[in-house]
Amino acid sequence: MYFKQSFSTPLGELLLVGTETELVGSWFTDQKYFAPELSLEKIATIETPALKQASTWLTEYFNGQLPTTELTLAPKVTPFRQRVLNQLRAIPYGTTVTYQELANKLASHPRAVGGAVAHNPLSIFIPCHRVLASDGSLHGYAGGLERKQALLELEQIL
């Protein structure tokens, strides 16, 4: 059973969706690819232990700290997208990679990787904002390029 909770960030409202023990989704409420395949009106608004941990993690993150709160992330995605998300999770705080670098690691095409990154169901928690175009420019963030830039500045990458 899924539960939801809103979390206010300096960059806008996030919707968190999870179970008692796992976080399955995190989306800015106005972003592209928002909560696909979830009937949000049927999900109860209740703070579960997993959603409370996610809120604590976000508070640490937006206070400029490297989050230490342990989370169990459980995105519901295809096997290919799971491989891409695993690569995103391996990008250290304060660093970036390019779509091409990810594609090379996955022996895939940059456009396929870009599609998987764009549909990341755990915005911020799985750091798709740390992926840049081959020339180092900001490109393709479902939450908007302004947010991507702000997240990178928060992590002092830019």
What amino acid positions are annotated as catalytic residues? Answer: 128
Q: Is 129 exposed, middle or buried (0-12, 13-18, 19+ CB in 10 A)?
A: buried
Residue (of 2, 32, 38, 53) closest to 117 by Cα position: 32
Provide the 8-state DSSP code for 64: T
Q: What DSSP designation does 122 have? A: B
Distance CA 8, CA 29 (A): 10
Cα(56)–Cα(44) distance, integer angstroms:
20
